[in-house]
Chains A and B, each alone.
Chain A
Amino acid sequence: MLSLILPTYNEASNLPELIDEIEEAMYGVPFEVIVVDDDSLDRTWETAESIGNFVRVIRRVGRRGLSSAVVEGFQAAEGDVLAVMDSDGQHDPCVLPYLYGEVKRGAAVAIGSRYVPGGSVEGFAKPRHFMSRVATILAWLVTPMRVQDPMSGFFAIDRNVFQSCASALRPRGFKILLEILAHLPRYSHIVEVPLEFRKRRSGESKLDASVQRAYLFQVSRLFFQKRQGFLFGLSVLVIAVVLLFKIWTIRLLYLDHSTQSRVSTAVIVASDEHEWLLSGISITSLTNEYVTLQYRSYQRGKDSHECAIVHLLTLEIIPCSSS
């Protein structure tokens, strides 16, 4: 059975016509509709309750957000295939049977996609198209594969797949599909079905600057969540390589006690000879016969460097430039 979630906020005027279209499109397919309403001012929940036996209503008081409404609807659903679509008439219900069929045939997620061959967008101005493409490219940083429409609000998911990632989801903002895709295993079977995205029938769009900010934050959060182990591992590797190289350079200090005491003496001799401060001296190379010392004056803004090579047995000091 398909459980279709319709998250609503002030969609009372769009809902009855939409439900009729859904009923017609899903003829012969077992389904239920769950309207999840965020306590609309136009009492959308009342309109939904009056519609039909196959419509259940969840009225959320004191809770807002599209993503959380979808997750709550999924959790209340009884079907083995869960789907969601917009309630403003922009998504064509005729695509629903195709999404349902793909999931029944083994897809983890089937997406109604505006950007695959056969799909289209009606009424998008060029700037919005551009923003949509940029957002899609950003989403590829966090999705297991290059989905063409990761921001689609029209998709179906296998119930078991949803339950496997439900506890990891952080349903904030508008893009629940992105959140789900980011938590799917790498080689999940994802199918995109062409969708002709229609103009909104009535009411106002909820896409504004705060939604765009929330999206950027969501992508950043998912990016760091997925790559935190890699970043840690890379940092550790780089630091370890640098340190091991330095330790290798001065290994004789630790392997040979007599070298240790000779180097100590050499440092003091060089320090006395050149009036160096001990804290400014570092060892740049060490062999059985010679130690190369580098001195930094640590003068604010005008650091100077000096270098000397000291013979460990004779304690003869020669400048590095003459070696």
Chain B
Amino acid sequence: MFFILKHKRFVGIVLALEVLAVVLAILQWHVGVRTDEAKYLLNIPYPHPPFGRWILHLLEAFPYQEIFWRIIFATLLMQAVWLVWDIGHSLSRTHRIILSGVWILSAAVLLQAGTIMMAPLTALHGLLFLLLLSRSRRLKSPVEYPGLIALLWLAALFSAYQAVLFVPLVWVLIRRSSRRLKSPVTQCAYVFVPIVLLGLYTLSNPLALHSMFLQAGKDIAETPMERLLATLRVWAIGGSIITSVLGTAGMCMSLLRRIRRLQSPVNDDIDAIAIAGSFFLVAMFTFLARHDYYAILWTPLFIAGLAALLQTRRANENGAIFGMLFLMFHLVFLLFLPFSLQESPARETMRVIQERQNGLPWRAGTGVILIAGAFGHEWQYESSLRVRRYSPDSDLSEVATVICLLSCPELASRAWQRLPNTSVEVWVQRLTGR
């Protein structure tokens, strides 16, 4: 931040990135809250550990909680380009601009910017660890703050389980603090005690454990080939395919160099092993849980790999043109990815219900909403009333509305009327005078 303020010419870029962040946040806001986002905003205690969601839920009573955090998350992702700029410190200016442009324009970052998910947060943690590694290597100085890095590591793990995928990076960082932290036992404690605490947290929260088993059993019927293709899809999104290929190639090249220098590795090589280690872990994780939003976990690693590749290439007079074409490809790739701007059924339905209630002051803001069928937490978030599960035996005396995600023919009676123009069945009690 001091660097940016000191060099005033960067202020324009900061503002432009901020405008982009706000636009992306508004696009996501228009779609509505997703079930995972609702879990974090409401601090529902699964699937992730509590730290990140606890911070998010502090503003629960704030009417603009959702858009506020969307803008914050989008800002963090967009302004993280300065971390990428610093990682590319030893590159030529043209290459540095390309590297930074890759971060902003990669499909994973653009699709995730403005969402309130833990995957982008974990990706930012990974980028930060990569930056610290790069700085300690560049400045040829040992790491001075292993304790603070360990605290950051603890915070990362207690925000999202997937942060554990970056343990190789943290391991090398802590080992590089050997002047401050001479004992190998203490170094191991800094890295592995937070992981042990994460295990304890999981044992203390049976709901988290239960949801892990559910997730694990979900796609058990998929064949390994189907899983592999889905993994490749997520890998491709992570770097808009072209950076995925080049980033992976850069990582492999660094690793081969390390293998050749078996007897006398230098810091660069040790970083290559750590980055390859995280790459392997992210690949395994994606193989097991193949959601598109995990693509962003790959992006920091692709940045590191691409930086390693660009270091071996000299910028020439055509570099700027190639760079622009390279970055434009990222935008073109985005057009091939499915993205819907349609309002979610939960938001649409709750808006219709609220509009109806607004015309009825004696009923507004009271009662309970029952929902029939399996529903996500976004229904809880979007509703201003308490949400409970519906069954045919439910006591409907205090109920304002029943939402049927499965059909509820038993409600077709004189006491209830179905609201028109909703994408799901919505039943409200008939008005019988005031």
- Chain A residues within CB distance 8 Å of chain B: 167-168, 224-225, 227-232, 235-236, 239-240, 243-244, 246-247, 250, 253-254, 271-272, 275-283, 297-302, 304
Report Cα–Cα, A84/B190, bound state, in Å: 39
CA distance A304 to B388 in the complex (A): 12
| Nearest chain A CB to B65 CB, angstrom units | 8
User: By the criterion CB–CB under 8 Å, are B388 and A243 in contact?
Assistant: no
A275 neighbours in B (Cβ, 8 Å): 370, 388-391, 394
Chain A nearest Cβ from B376, distance in angstroms: 10
CA–CA, A247 and B202, complex, Å: 9
Q: Among the interface residues A239, A250, A275, A298, which one has the most CB atoms of the partner chain B within 10 A?
A: A298
Cβ of B386 and Cβ of A299 under 8 Å apart? yes
* Contact among A225, A232, A247, A280 for B200, CB-based, below 8 A: A247
CB proximity of A92 to chain B, nearest CB, Å: 37
Interface residues of B in 181-204 (CB under 8 A from A): 181, 186, 190, 193-194, 197, 200-201, 203-204
A239 contacts which chain B residues (CB < 8 A)? 154, 158, 197, 201
Given the interface pairs A240-B197, A300-B42, the reply to whether A224 lies near B148 with Cβ below 8 Å is: yes
Residue from B146, B381, B383, B391 within 8 A of A228 (CB atoms): B146
Chain B contacts to A: CB under 8 angstroms? 42-46, 60-61, 65, 144-148, 150-151, 154, 158, 179-181, 186, 190, 193-194, 197, 200-201, 203-207, 370, 377, 380-381, 383-391, 394
CB atoms of B386 and A231 under 8 A apart: no
Q: How many angstroms from the CA of A275 to the CA of B206 in the assembled complex?
A: 20
Chain A contacts for B158, CB-based, 8 A = 239
Whether B204 contacts A232 by the Cβ 8 Å rule is: no
Determine how close the nearest CB of chain B comes to the CB of A170; give it in whole angstroms: 8
A-side interface mostly: helix
User: How far in angstroms is the closest Cβ of chain A from B268?
Assistant: 22
User: Are A301 and B61 interface neighbours, CB within 8 A?
Assistant: yes
Q: Are B147 and A282 in contact (CB under 8 A)?
A: no
Contact B147 A229 (CB under 8 A): yes
A-B contact pairs, 22 of them (CB 8 A): A229-B181, A230-B147, A232-B151, A235-B154, A239-B197, A247-B200, A247-B203, A275-B391, A277-B380, A279-B44, A279-B46, A279-B207, A297-B386, A298-B44, A299-B380, A299-B386, A300-B42, A300-B383, A300-B384, A301-B60, A301-B61, A304-B386
CB distance from B252 to the nearest CB of A (A): 35
Query: When chains A and B are docked, how far (Å) is the Cα of A253 from the Cα of B154?
Result: 27
Do residues A283 and B201 form an inter-chain contact, with CB atoms below 8 A? no
Option from B60, B190, B206, B386 in Cβ contact (under 8 Å) with A232: B190
Q: Are A298 and B145 in contact (CB under 8 A)?
A: no
Which listed residue, B193, B204, B370, touches A243 by the CB 8 Å rule? B204
Given A275-B389, A275-B394, A298 and B380 touching (CB < 8 A)? yes
Which of B154, B158, B206 has most A Cβ within 10 Å? B206
In the complex, the answer to whether A277 meets B388 with C-beta atoms within 8 Å is yes
Asked whether, in the complex, the Cβ of B144 is within 8 Å of the Cβ of A225, the reply is yes
B44, A243: Cβ atoms under 8 Å? no
Which residues from B are CB-within-8-Å of A236? 154, 193-194, 197
Residues of chain A with a CB closer than 8 A to B205's CB: 246
Q: How far is the CA of A160 from the CA of B158 in the complex (A)?
A: 44
Instruction: Report the separation of the CA atoms of residues A300 and B384 in the bound assembly, to the nearest whole angstrom.
Output: 7
| Residue pair A276, B197 in contact (C-beta under 8 Å) | no
Separation of A271 and B377 alpha carbons in the complex (Å): 16
Chain B residues with Cβ below 8 Å from A282 are 45, 207
* CB pair A228 B42 closer than 8 Å: no
- Alpha-carbon gap, A274 to B61, bound state (A): 26
Chain B positions within 8 Å of A271 at CB level: 389
- Which 10 residue pairs of A and B lie closest in terms of their CB atoms, listed nearest first? A228-B147, A246-B204, A275-B388, A301-B61, A243-B200, A298-B42, A232-B147, A229-B147, A232-B150, A243-B204
Q: Which residues of B contact A280 (CB under 8 A)?
A: 44
A-B contacts besides A231-B147, A239-B201, 4 pairs, CB < 8 Å:
A228-B150, A230-B147, A276-B388, A277-B380
Contact assessment for A231 and B151 in the assembled complex, using a CB-CB cutoff below 8 Å:
yes
Using CB atoms, name the residue of chain B closest to A298: B42
A231-B186 Cα distance, complex, nearest whole Å: 14
Q: Select B60's contact among A167, A228, A230, A300, beta carbons within 8 Å.
A: A300
Q: Are B206 and A283 in contact (CB under 8 A)?
A: yes
CB-based contact A243/B197 at 8 Å: yes
What residues on B are CB-neighbors of A250 within 8 Å? 204, 206
B393 closest partner in A (C-beta): A272
- A185 CB → nearest B CB, Å: 14
Q: How far is the CB of B110 from chain A (nearest CB, A)?
A: 29
Known A228-B148, A235-B151: A277·B42 in contact at CB below 8 Å: no
> Separation in Å of the A236 CB from the closest CB of chain B?
6
Complex: chain A residue closest to B38, CB-CB: A298
Q: In the bound complex, how far is the Cα of B379 from the Cα of A299, in angstroms?
A: 10
Rounded to whole Å, the gap between the CB of B242 and the closest CB of chain A is 41
Cβ-defined contact, A299 with B385, below 8 A: yes
Nearest CB on A from B194, distance (A): 8
Residues of chain A with a CB closer than 8 A to B391's CB: 272, 275
What residue of chain B has the Cβ atom nearest to residue A254's Cβ?
B203
How close is A277's CB to chain B, nearest CB, in angstroms?
6
From residue A253, how far is it (CB to closest CB) to chain B in Å? 6
Chain B residues near A272 (CB, 8 Å)?
Answer: 391
With A236-B154, A297-B386, A304-B386 already in contact, the answer to whether A225 and B145 are too (CB < 8 A) is yes
Q: In the complex, which residue of chain B has the Cβ closest to the Cβ of A301? A: B61
In the complex the two chains form, what is the Cα distance from A45 to B181 in whole Å?
A: 42
Q: B residues within 8 A CB of A253?
A: 206
CB distance from A52 to the nearest CB of B (A): 38
A274 to B193, CA, bound (A): 40
Residues in A neighbouring B389, C-beta threshold 8 A: 271, 275-277
- When chains A and B are docked, how far (Å) is the Cα of A283 from the Cα of B206? 9
Nearest-CB residue, chain B, relative to A167: B179
Minimum CB–CB distance for A310 against chain B, Å: 15
- B186 closest partner in A (C-beta): A229
Asked whether, in the complex, the Cβ of B145 is within 8 Å of the Cβ of A228, the reply is yes
**Nearest CB in chain A to that of B204: its residue:** A246
Looking across the interface, which residue of chain B has its beta carbon closest to that of A227?
A: B147
**B residues in contact with A247, CB < 8 Å:** 200, 203-204
Task: Determine the distance from Cα of A239 to Cα of B196 in the docked complex, in whole angstroms.
Answer: 11
Q: Please report the C-alpha to C-alpha distance between residue A301 and residue B206 in the assembled complex, in whole angstroms.
A: 26
A233 to chain B, nearest CB (A): 9
Contacts of B145 in A (CB 8 A): 224-225, 228
- Give Cα distance in the complex from A84 to B104, angstroms: 51
